[in-house]
Amino acid sequence: MDWIAKHALSLTILVPFITCLLILLVPPERKSVIRVMAAVATSITLLISLWLCFRFDFAKGGIQFEERLEWVPLAGVSYHLGVDGVSITLVLLTAFIIFTGVFASWTIEYRTKDFLSLLLFLVTGVFGVFVSIDLFFFFLFYEVAVLPMYLLIGIWGTGRKEYSAMKLTLYLLLGSAFILVGMLAVYFLSPTGTFDIPELLQTAKFTVEQQRILFLMFYVGFGILAGIWPLHTWSPDGHASAPTAVSMLHAGVLMKLGAFGVLRVGMSLLPEGAQYWAPLMGTIAVINIVYGAFSAMGQTDLKYVIAYSSVSHMGVVMLGLAGMNAVSLTGSTMQMFAHGIMTGLFFALVGLVYEKSHTRDILKMGGFAEKMPGIAVAFVVGGLSSFGLPGTSGFVAEFLTFWGVWKSYPWMTYIGVAGVVITATYVLRVVQKVFLGKRPEGYDDLPDARTTEWVALVVLGAILIITGVMPRLLTDFLNVGVHDYLKLLGKV
């Protein structure tokens, strides 16, 4: 038990990875066994994540649960893990999304073994990014998280899946190129020649010009995955073509990798560069908010509505980062969690509606609430959080973000709040078109969610309400983490 406690972060990486390998040994026709193995693995990672949260020391702050093993000392590479108040909430987010994603994908029959093994391999990379505090392993796990998306969309996707998979891969490889060049520049410019982030924070002294150039590289590189305008066009196509669990991970977690990368690598290592580019970051963020909201309002494909909604909500995340004060950063990081849960719920619901009605065209829907009351209620809960109704986590996140940004850039707040009004418009439009009104012919036998699907809907919906009513469950962690980043930015 003591060994487990000391290596809890490694277990978040190893459990899905080892299960991925074990699934490959199971005969493909034993689908029920494969599904149970995936469910058990994701349940274990969720329990580990919850244990980490309960053991987190708020008084101590900083990096906790550290593990370090020198890997290539001559090159300054070490297997160095640790979490702060921000990253531990993202580890928990990932655990919830992959846990519910497995249950939401319980009915996948085509190459179930390959699908679930790739899904677990992807989430291995996601956990690795959030717990790594060595740039080499951070980048390694980042690529592990991104590359399986091509196969998951290209094989199990729908519509223009090959086009969407290739477009996503090319965009994200472009972002990876910027990150890799920036990372190597940081390594060679540091006096000690190390990839270790805590050591770089203590020893690296970059000039103002170097910081401005390097931060821009990291912002573009990570920003592509975060869906920043105008480098966002891969995202809606990727969301729309991906299978349900992949869409949940894609929007719920992978886009957060980009925003987290900007915070952990860009803003912490290059604070003067971050402050120089903050007005540009904020301007692009408000474009994201408004452009994404208007685009969502104009869609008739239900999955594209949610996809463009994610572009808009990630604008709120990036806007909070640009505010660079305690309130805006707390709001931004809370929005990472809130949007991750909300969009995971949305994509699970869209997948269920499509599976049962065989259409995603909202103009061909109507009156589904009578036959799918549970799905309708879950969609309303997600929608209320999406446009920030009090009592949901979306309200807390957006309120803190806009309040904090108003202190730095009031005009950005006004535009951002206008985007929230547009969000309410398209969410209510979707609810009215899909679940209310007269039901078209041919939809008299629509079933509601199955038992396994209810697991995903109830867990995600409950989190949105619980963290909205009791936001300190998250903000106590986030305040500790944000304080550490503010010290690095010279704001404390």
pLDDT at 374: 85
Question: Is 492 a residue whose pLDDT tops 80?
Answer: no
pLDDT of 75 over the 90 cut: no
The pLDDT score that the predictor gives to residue 2 is 62
- CB hemisphere CA count around 229 (13 angstroms): 24
pLDDT 10s digits, 107-120: 777 888 888 998 89
Q: Give the pLDDT mean for 354-380.
A: 83
Taking CA atoms, 364 is separated from 28, 308, 359, 427, 438, in Å, by 37, 20, 8, 17, 11
At residue 83, the 3 state secondary structure works out as strand
Range 323-333 average pLDDT: 90
For residue 373, CA distances in Å to 368, 389, 426, 434 come to 8, 21, 21, 12
DSSP string for 253-272: IIHHHHHHHIIIIIIHH-HH
pLDDT 10s digits, 249-277: 888 888 888 999 999 888 888 988 988 99
Predicted confidence band at 4 (pLDDT cuts at 50, 70, 90)?
low
User: Which of 394, 373, 374 is closest to 384 using CA atoms?
Assistant: 394
DSSP 429-458: HHHHHHHSSPPPTT-TT-----HHHHHHHH
> Dmax of the chain from CA atoms?
71
Q: What is the mean pLDDT of residues 59-85?
A: 84
Q: What is the pLDDT of residue 18?
A: 93
pLDDT in the model for residue 299: 86
Mean pLDDT confidence for 135-148: 89
Buried b / exposed e along 400-436 (16+ C-beta atoms within 10 A):
bbbbbbbebbeebbebbeebbebbbebbeebbebbbb
Whole-structure pTM value: 0.90
What are the domain boundaries of the chain?
Answer: 2-484
Predicted confidence (pLDDT) at residue 56 exceeds the cutoff of 80: yes
Q: What tens digit of pLDDT does each residue of 280-324 get? A: 999 999 999 999 999 988 888 888 888 898 899 999 999 999 988
Average pLDDT of every residue of the chain:
87
Kindly state the percentage of the chain with pLDDT values over 90: 27
pLDDT score at 229: 85
pLDDT digits (tens, 9 = 90+) for 398-442: 999 999 999 888 989 999 888 888 888 888 888 888 888 787 777
How many Cα atoms within 13 Å fall on the side-chain side of residue 432? 6
**Residue 368 · residue 376 · CB < 8 Å:** yes
**Mean pLDDT to the nearest integer, 227-234:** 85
445-467 pLDDT, tens per residue? Answer: 777 777 878 888 888 999 999 99
